[in-house]
Amino acid sequence: MVFGLFKYVDTMADAASKLKTEGIDDIRVFSPVPVDHEMDPVLGEKKNPLRFFTFFGGLSGLFFGALLVLTTAALYVLPRGGKPIWAAPPVLLVSYETTILFGVLMTYFGFLVLSGLIKNFYSTEEKICFPETMDDSFGLLINVRSDREEAVMKILKEFGASEVRTIAWE
Amino acid sequence: MSNHGHDEETKVRVDFKEVNRDIFSVMTDTGPRYYVVMALFAMAAVGLFILPWAYQIYNGQGVTGLNVPVVWGVYLVNFVFWVGVAHAGTLISAMLFITKTPWRRAIARSAESMTLLALFLVTLFIFIHMGRPWNFYWTFPYPNQRQLWLNFQSPIMFDVFAIGTYFTSSVVFLYFGMIPDFAALKHHATGWRKQLYSVLSVGWRGSDKEWHVHGKATMFFASFIMPLVVSVHSIVSWDFALSIVPGYTKTVFAPYFVTGALLSGFAGVITMLTLVRWAFPVTKKYITLMHYDRVGVFILVLSLTWSYLTGLEVFTGIYANTTYETEHLIYKLAVSPYIYLFSLMIFCNTVLPLILILKKVRKSTSAMFVMCLFIIVGMWLERYLIIPNSLSRKFLPYMWHDYMPTWVEGAITIGAFCAFVTMFMVMIKIAPIISPFEVKEDSGVPMEKGGH
């Protein structure tokens, strides 16, 4: 595994592009800010199923809120001066709020799962961290066989990496 | 892009390394004066908020001015007021995120923090008002001893769900946004801070996968929270509007309350940001006069909208032409001392903000600070003139009763402000009130070919 540190995003994108043409696909980017806009054209747009978590959360919240109001009103009848036992406003309002509540919580859970943050707790490799990329630098982590590491390091240097090193993990 | 020039104007240009250093210094470089001020506010919060509340718990609700028919008094005024203050944070972070307004980034975090702290006070005021706070769990939907469930047809129950959802979502949204910042700051920190930020950053490393999901999740959160903001204060307004009490039963209340909430919320944001700029001069780099200018425009628009809705509220009362409604209006608009309070409210919320039409005023921190204090007073008065005042003239004259808050209610009201400032000062020292990554994002990523 090779890690290269860059000061500029465009030079990093150029380096990643060159590596891609060399047939190296397992490239990860580390940055202090999102750089999707600059890196996606090179590395390809990512897809993630977060929306399904959000949708499932919202939908379950909708049913939870509606069922809570309707079933409890039916189970414990409180007659209120001829008003309906099942009324639309409380069902709509409570389920509206629970849709949002469950949607938010499931989105957060989905974020933890899909971003790999939960996995990080259990994986040695995923614990590799680059403090420089939290400040002002941008990093490329390239997963290649050890016999190709030398060539990758050369490309990174060629494209202006300020620092290049190999990373070992169990 | 057509608005390219506009974007350039609102960008905060900073060096990436400098951002982490600056924001970390705000959190760690604490002079003795800061501790002294914080201790004074904390003591005021204990003396004016905690102790009077303890006194009230010990002696019962009889120590307040609440009595039939005015059973909703200053505590609920504070409840509605603080819900309002909470609104601006979410608006700035969610609504301006969705509309891709770049200048929100530097001030969004502190506004979100204000949301959280204000909502904490909101929750407390419900229990202060109810008395017997140890029975708080009676508001939760669980089968009680009588095997009866809560009455979901009551707007008070809508409130439990609305405030509960708002509080939970605000905590998640605030914390979620802070994860990359905690990760960045843990490398600068030592001791307990390092341990705390390591736990809070949940293993964030800033990889492309993490940022990608983070960006998507932010969009979903913002999309959820925006309608939530509108629903929460609409539901709060229905606590009143769904009743048949003269002065409460107005269909315009939902937009009226939401607009008022945003007005007071923006005033609160400017007040706190001015104090932050004053206490930490390094933040002037990030919270600039451009922010004052933009928020000033918002305040002007909200003030005009609020003024229109206030006129509408009074007019619909007159137009209803029922004796009950008329009596309430006479009491609110023509009887001392309420005529003076109403006039002061109009001065604070309608007349004074008109000077915001001048850019010079919008770009003056001291003018904005003073004006926002007036708006805060004005918006508090608005709630006062609606909540206890309407109950004072409820239907038949044998029920009429003038309400006067006691010293306990007054102390708790002032103490809440002190508690808010204390909590905000503690928060500044624990969590970044300016988001480093968002400020960096605003500045633009460094490019070798073509600057930022």
Q: Is the pLDDT of residue A130 over 90?
A: no
Instruction: For A29-44, give the DSSP string.
Output: EE-SS--HHHHHHHH-
Do the beta carbons of residue B348 and residue B377 sit within 8 Å?
Answer: yes
**CA–CA gap between residue A74 and residue B58 (Å, rounded):** 39
Q: Is the pLDDT of residue B310 over 60?
A: yes
Residue B344 lies in a domain: yes
ipTM for this prediction: 0.92
Taking alpha carbons only, the member of B383, B291, B236 closest to residue B104 is B291
Size of interface A-B (CB pairs under 8 A): 190
**Does the N-terminal peptide bond of residue B69 adopt cis geometry, omega within 30 degrees of 0?**
yes
Structure tokens that stand for B279 in this block: 């206490």
**CA–CA gap between residue B110 and residue B91 (Å, rounded):** 12
Structure tokens that stand for B400 in this block: 């009429």
pLDDT confidence bin for A167, thresholds 50/70/90: confident
For residue B376, give how far its alpha carbon lies from the nearest alpha carbon of chain A (Å): 28
Distance of CA B70 to the CA centre of its chain: 26
In this structure, how many other beta carbons lie within 10 angstroms of the beta carbon of residue B196?
Answer: 16
Tens digit of each residue's pLDDT (9 = 90 or more) over B287-298:
999 999 999 999
- B214-231 in b/e form (b: 16+ CB < 10 A) is bebbbbbbbbbbbebbbb
B51 contacts: CB under 8 Å, gap ≥ 6? none
Tens digit of each residue's pLDDT (9 = 90 or more) over B77-102:
999 999 999 987 887 888 888 888 87
Tens digit of each residue's pLDDT (9 = 90 or more) over B329-380:
999 999 989 999 999 999 999 999 999 999 999 999 999 999 999 999 999 9
E strand or H helix that includes residue A4: strand A2-6
Do the beta carbons of residue B83 and residue B231 sit within 8 Å?
Answer: no
**CA–CA gap between residue A36 and residue B213 (Å, rounded):** 11
For range B435-444, the mean pLDDT? 86
* Higher pLDDT pick, B18 / B52: B52
Q: Classify B150 as helix, strand or coil.
A: coil
Residue B147 lies in a domain: no
Domains and CATH numbers, chain A: 2-47+126-166 (3.30.70), 50-114 (no CATH)
Residue B183 lies in a domain: yes
Structure tokens that stand for B354 in this block: 């008109």
Residue B414 lies in a domain: yes
From chain A, pick out residues whose CB is under 8 angstroms from the CB of B158.
Answer: 90, 93-94, 97
Residue B27 lies in a domain: yes
Q: Mark which residues 281-340 of B lie under 8 Å from A by CB.
A: none
Sheet holding A2-6, edge to edge: A27-30, A138-142, A2-6, A163-166
**Residue B137, pLDDT score:** 79
**CA–CA gap between residue B116 and residue B110 (Å, rounded):** 10
Q: Do A48 and B216 touch (CB under 8 A)?
A: yes
Q: Which amino acid is at B49?
A: F
Give how many domains chain B has, as a whole number. Answer: 1
From chain B, pick out residues whose CB is under 8 angstroms from the CB of A48.
Answer: 212-213, 216
* Beta pairing, strands A163-166 & A27-30: unpaired
Q: Do B212 and A48 touch (CB under 8 A)?
A: yes
Question: How would you classify residue A81: left for phi > 0, otherwise alpha for psi between -120 and 50, otherwise beta?
Answer: left
For range B412-431, the mean pLDDT? 95
For residue B91, give how far its alpha carbon lies from the nearest alpha carbon of chain A (Å): 16
Do the beta carbons of residue B80 and residue B164 sit within 8 Å?
Answer: no
Tens digit of each residue's pLDDT (9 = 90 or more) over A34-68:
998 888 888 888 888 999 999 999 999 999 999 99
Residue B88 lies in a domain: yes
Domain that holds residue B424: 2-141+152-442
Q: Do A32 and B440 touch (CB under 8 A)?
A: yes
Do the beta carbons of residue B120 and residue B249 sit within 8 Å?
Answer: no
Q: Is the pLDDT of residue B8 over 60?
A: no
Give how far Cα A8 sits from Cα of A39, A45, A132, B150, B446, Å: 12, 21, 13, 59, 5
Strands (E), chain A: 2-6, 27-30, 138-142, 163-166
pLDDT confidence bin for B6, thresholds 50/70/90: very low
Tens digit of each residue's pLDDT (9 = 90 or more) over B371-390:
999 999 999 999 999 999 99
Distance of CA B21 to the CA centre of its chain: 29
Residue B449 lies in a domain: no
**What is the separation, in whole angstroms, between the first and last Cα of chain A?**
11
Q: Do A28 and B227 touch (CB under 8 A)?
A: no
**Residue B87, pLDDT score:** 85
* Average pLDDT of every residue of chain A: 88
E strand or H helix that includes residue A3: strand A2-6
Cross-strand bridge partners of residue A6: A138
Residue B146 lies in a domain: no
